[in-house]
């Protein structure tokens, strides 16, 4: 079986870490500016991760790509990943727009699993962005996957992820149906809470 050398992985991830840190700073700064202007934070919190060597190898193998640094750079867009967790669905689109409107960021791919949820009920907005980083003698455009979710979508996805890895569950079909129903209920709750927020804001003005 083919593997990526530990040393190759260690040098590969450095520019991805830089690109991720760069985007985290931009998101922080947007969050603070939005708060100053509109009196609330669109971002509740953020998480970042670099995909582990074993997960990269597994994904390349599963998709039939070459297991090498070249294979990663040409085919994987989620080596660096940021999860942006917002309180309300509206905040997701407002934050994504502010970020993608920046003139040196290129949107490579948009997958809107909020408008089109996955059949299991999964909801999130996934963007693949390309951001420039400046090294001592070159500029590199790095891809980062940014997932936007509400707190409710994140709660659902975390539980679903845990359950997915449990083996030999009895009543698996019934459980996945119930998970779908929970995703639907959770999405309704997001919209009701957002409507409440809008009413409260309107009364404040």
Q: Is 51 in the site for ligand 0O2 (CB under 6 A)?
A: yes
The region, left, alpha or beta by phi > 0 then psi within -120 to 50, assigned to residue 104 is alpha
C-alpha closest to that of 123 among 54, 176, 43, 187: 187
Q: Is 16 in the site for ligand 0O2 (CB under 6 A)?
A: no
CB of 86 to ligand 0O2, least distance (A): 16
Q: Is 161 in the site for ligand 0O2 (CB under 6 A)?
A: yes
Cβ atoms of 117 and 150 closer than 8 Å: no
Among 26, 44, 106, 111, binds ligand 0O2 (CB under 6 A): 111
Sequence-distant (6+) residues with CB within 8 A of 129 are 23, 99, 100, 105, 106, 107, 108, 143, 144, 145, 146
Strands (E) across the chain are located at 43-50, 80-86, 106-112, 125-134, 139-150
For ligand 0O2, the closer CB: 161 or 177? 161
Cβ atoms of 142 and 78 closer than 8 Å: no
CB of 145 to ligand 0O2, least distance (A): 7
Determine the straight-line distance between the first and last CA of the chain, rounded to whole angstroms: 64
For ligand 0O2, the closer CB: 87 or 147? 147
Judged by CB under 6 A, the stretch of 18-26, 36-44, 120-128, 184-192 that binds ligand 0O2 is 120-128
Q: Is 160 in the site for ligand 0O2 (CB under 6 A)?
A: yes
Judged by CB under 6 A, the stretch of 23-31, 37-45, 115-123, 169-177 that binds ligand 0O2 is 115-123
Judged by CB under 6 A, the stretch of 27-35, 154-162, 171-179, 180-188 that binds ligand 0O2 is 154-162
**Contacting ligand 0O2 within 75-104 (CB under 6 A):** 78, 81
């Amino acid at each position: 079986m083919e593997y990526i050398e530990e040393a190759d992985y260690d040098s590969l991830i450095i520019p991805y870490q830089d690109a991720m840190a760069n985007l985290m700073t931009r998101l922080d700064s947007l969050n603070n500016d939005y708060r100053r202007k509109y009196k609330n934070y669109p971002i509740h919190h953020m998480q970042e991760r670099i995909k582990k060597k074993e997960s990269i190898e597994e994904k390349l193998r599963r998709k039939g790509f070459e297991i090498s640094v070249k294979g990663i750079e040409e085919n994987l867009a989620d080596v660096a990943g940021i999860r942006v967790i917002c309180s309300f669905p509206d905040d997701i689109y407002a934050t994504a727009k502010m970020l993608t409107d920046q003139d040196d960021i290129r949107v490579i791919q948009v997958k809107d699993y909020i408008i089109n949820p996955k059949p299991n009920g999964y909801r999130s907005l996934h963007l693949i962005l390309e951001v420039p980083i400046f090294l001592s003698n070159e500029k590199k455009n790095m891809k980062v996957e940014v997932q936007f979710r509400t707190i409710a979508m994140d709660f659902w996805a975390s539980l679903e992820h845990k359950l997915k890895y449990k083996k030999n569950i009895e009543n698996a079909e019934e459980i996945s149906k119930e998970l779908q129903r929970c995703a639907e209920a959770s999405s309704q709750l997001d919209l009701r809470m957002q409507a409440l927020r809008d009413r409260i804001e309107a009364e404040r003005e």
